[in-house]
Amino acid sequence: MNEKLSRRRFLRGIGALAAGSALAACAPQTVIVKETVEVEKEVVVTQEVEKVVKETVIVAGTPQVVEKTVKETVVVEVAPPSAEELLQNLPDKLGSPDHARGWKTILPEMPAGYPLAEPVVINCTRRLDQQSRFCEGDDFDNNPWSRMIKELFNVDYRTAWTWSTGDEANQKYNLAMASGDMPDFLETVPETIFVKMVEADLLEDITDAYDAYASPRWKAIWREYGDLPWTWSRVDGRLFGLSRVEDLAHNDCILWYREDWLEKVGMSVPTTIDELHDVALAFKEADLGLGAAGTTIGLLASESYSNTWYGSLDSIWGGFGYIPFHWQPEGDDLMYGAIRPEVKEALTLLNQWYNEGIFRKDFYTLTTSQALSDVSSASCGLHFTPSWGANRDTVVNDPECVWKFADIPT
């Protein structure tokens, strides 16, 4: 059976099937660029079998029935290998298959026709930051996930270029549009540039591809949320990208604290904002960090001092009722949080903490990623970060470090 598979059709299919690895209910989205290169795919499933047949022959004038064995090539129905079977020979063990608790990695459903007979290369953009690290010998294009995708689909993702900050993303995506040098697959496109790309007819309409090829399990999960997952990527009723989505609790902050520092200052886990202040100040005054004298940070903060993805202060602002730089309900209307009187109370408190040295003196000049290095360098004792926020590098730099987490102080 011969079947022509266009690159456009393939990109539609694999984008809807494998893009879940890049899936925050936030503005950026992953998009696929138009291209029409044709490749050939040939699939032949046959098997040689032996069959016993009976024949009537004449022996010495007498008919006799004899049996003989013949070989025959037949087309057979062979169940396609499961994802687990395809990956069983890979050196990388996904998840924790031998863990005593029986943890298991849920692998994707294998669509018909995969792995492809011929390899397909998809060029893509990639977001990275200073925390991006790989095991020795691995990189963006060769790692456990890329090897899994290669084995399951016969697809190679190749990094066309990377970006880190929002300004760098804007610059590189604008340059790509101007030069016409657009990779096949674009990760986390700023929403204003995404609209420009749609208007310039640079992006593939994936509406029909999503309906035809997306995993039924994936579609069932997204269907529970109606139109919400498509808020950022549907234009005039058509889909031009896959909105990035995540678990609703993924970015809910908890309080991370250095338990070893807490023991050194002889204090308990803070349960109120006043206690948080006392612990942070004690960490600062005891100067427990590994940096130069007097550089210990009690509580992490950055230029995004209202809310951000790591080391956020929204838990403090929220204790007073409002997050400053957001629109929030006021009767039948909306009010900008920064002008509410409650915000002045929180601001007065944080200003007091700053003057006492609880925050780094120049915190307002640091991006979130830069502030994160204060945690990894073992200079900071407290930070409000989601459940994934314990920092491995702190333990590497300070083997005595013990991170634990607690509820947000009231």
- What are the tens digits of pLDDT across the range 179-211? 988 999 999 898 889 999 999 999 999 999 999
DSSP per position, 250-286: TT--EEEEEHHHHHHHT-PPP-SHHHHHHHHHHHHHH
pLDDT at residue 354 is higher than 80: yes
Reported as a pLDDT band with limits 50, 70 and 90, residue 101 is: low
Q: Which of 35-39, 74-78, 191-195 has the highest mean pLDDT?
A: 191-195
Cα 315 to Cα 256: distance, rounded to the nearest angstrom = 12
CA distance 60 to 252: 93
Phi, psi of 208 (to 5 degrees): -70, -35
**Would you call 288 helix, strand, or coil by DSSP?**
coil
Q: What is the pLDDT of residue 161?
A: 92
Query: Which pLDDT score, from 0 to 100, does residue 99 have?
Result: 63
Confidence at 133, pLDDT banded by 50, 70, 90 = confident
- Quick one: average pLDDT of 123-131? 84
Q: What is the pLDDT of residue 307?
A: 83
Helix (H, G, I), strand (E, B) or coil at 167: helix
Mean of pLDDT values over 92-96 = 65
Distance CA 20, CA 108 (A): 10
Burial (CB count <10 Å: 0-12, 13-18, 19+), residue 226: exposed
Run of H or E including 182: none
Distance CA 192, CA 27 (A): 9
Q: Which of 365, 345, 248 is nearest to 302 (CA)?
A: 365
Instruction: Quickly state the pLDDT bin for 384 (edges 50, 70, 90).
Output: very high
Q: Residue 350: what pLDDT?
A: 94
Task: Please name each of the domains of the chain with its CATH number.
Answer: 2-40+80-243 (3.40.190), 254-406 (3.40.190.10)
Q: Tell me the pLDDT of the chain averaged across its residues.
A: 82
- The tens digit of pLDDT for each residue in 216-227 reads 888 898 888 888
Nearest partner of 238 among 213, 203, 212, 214, judged by Cα:
203
Inform me whether the pLDDT recorded for 8 exceeds 70: no
Q: What is the pLDDT of residues 139-161, one digit of tens each?
A: 889 988 899 899 889 999 999 99
Q: Is the pLDDT of residue 82 over 60?
A: yes
pLDDT score recorded for residue 396: 87
Maximal C-alpha separation, the chain:
118
Lowest mean pLDDT, pick from 13-22, 104-113, 206-215: 13-22
Query: What is the pLDDT, as a whole number, of residue 306?
Result: 85
Host H or E run for residue 18: helix 7-18
Sheet arrangement for strand 254-258: 297-299, 380-385, 254-258, 403-406
Tokens 């604008």 correspond to 174
As a whole number of angstroms, the distance between CA 357 and CA 189 comes to 38
Q: Give mean pLDDT, residues 296-315.
A: 91
Q: Output the pLDDT for position 119.
A: 94
Lowest mean pLDDT among 32-36, 87-91, 269-273, 332-336: 32-36
Query: Kindly report the CA angle at 329 between 327 and 330, in degrees rounded to 5?
Result: 115
Mean pLDDT computed over 71-85: 73
CA 1 vs CA 46, 75, 138: distances in Å: 11, 11, 38
Least confident range of 93-107, 166-180, 323-337: 93-107
| pLDDT, average across residues 255-273 | 96
294: left (phi over 0), alpha (psi -120 to 50) or beta: left
Is 29 a residue whose pLDDT tops 90?
no
pLDDT at 238 over 90: yes
Of 66 and 26, the structure prediction assigns the larger pLDDT to 66
DSSP 163: E
Residues of the chain above pLDDT 90, percent: 41
Residue 150's identity, in one-letter code, is K
Question: 101 or 385: which carries more pLDDT confidence?
Answer: 385
